Chains A and B, each alone.
Chain A
């Protein structure tokens, strides 16, 4: 990034190779939508490209890139919410990666599991934005508490608390569904 900021255009491809996979993973986990993820990756890189002249020598690029990606994702979601009037809810028969292992299960079990999955997703959607963001960064993206706190602009303790509350809310849904 340092080379790119001083005018070495060829360094942009190297920068892409260095951070795109992790950025893609983060956005893929957050959006669960391949197309939206690619769109956001591209937008994030364009923001980095546009701000290259302001890059601080020696600064870490990844937290910055993730922060940009998260901001763009939230902004995009807000824009769509305004456009659509509401968030779309996940469908029962959506092509989730985390679909229950249905092959060996009885039909009733499969239906129960699908309903439970839907309730978990709905509960996740219904969580306050600050809790959901913290949960997604820490539990789904696997960021450290410190890094997540940097991205969310808050303290490690607050991230821990938000993640825990989100976790407890999701566990409560599972308990109601009879999963210990």
Chain B
């Protein structure tokens, strides 16, 4: 190890100030607020375009002369429970446990699968118990809900990636779990807006987006969270390279 390496490292670090934990926490609070605002904003825009501004819908016409209602209790139960699952999903996705390497591959994969499953099971379970909104709604295949979920989740996904910034290992899986968590946030918005509990509709419009977002998150994670080597750190400090351009030369 050359004697001046330490001096170079310290000089390079001093030349590029980095945020402390307090600054990062403050930044994350701001990003979270922006993400929350983007969720509400996206839901409002979508509701304005698709349902005359109705953010919460308690029923609709299933067929001519047949109106199905979603009770307030069912809405509160499914949305409230989904909020709880979202809170756990966010904790799981944004926290890295006790290691700087983050969660294991197995637990990340479990999270990506279990988050949509838990949300689906919660909604269908309570819909079976508390309402009759599980009937087929021929005009509501789920494509609108699919677009709603993707639109609403877009902001949170970018926010979560900004909060994570980098992942030394498994960047794609870390991105995927962030996508899944963003999709979970969108689930709550979709649950408020959509009164349909018909299983194929829920699978297409509410569950599928979570897997799509996990895929998008994986791609973005691999791109954004991966560590990148700098071409030459010495060059920035004014020292020309004289060799060692490739490994095992």
Contact = CB atoms under 8 A, between A and B. Distances in A.
Interface of A: 5-7, 9, 12-13, 16-17, 20-21, 24, 30-36, 38-43, 45-47, 49-56, 58-61, 63-64, 67-68, 71-73, 75-77, 79-80, 84, 87-91, 94, 121, 125, 150-151, 153-154
A53 B19 contact: yes
Contacts of B242: 35
Contacts of B245: 36, 80
Contact of B16 (A13, A31, A49, A84): A49
Given A5-B20, A55-B21, A60 B227 contact: no
Contacts of B246: 33, 36, 80, 84, 87-88
A24 B9 CA distance: 13
Interface of B: 1-2, 5-6, 8-10, 12-14, 16, 18-25, 96-101, 104-105, 165-166, 168-170, 226-234, 241-249
Contacts of B16: 46, 49-50
Contacts of A21: 1
Q: Is the interface of A mostly helix, strand, loop or mixed?
A: helix
Q: Is the interface of B mostly helix, strand, loop or mixed?
A: loop
B100 A90 contact: no
A31 B248 contact: yes
Given A33-B244, A67-B101, A6 B20 contact: yes
A53 B20 contact: yes
Given A35-B242, A53-B23, A72 B229 contact: yes
Given A32-B247, A55-B100, A75 B23 contact: no
B21 A79 contact: no
Contacts of A63: 99-101
A42 B5 contact: yes
Contacts of B22: 6-7, 53
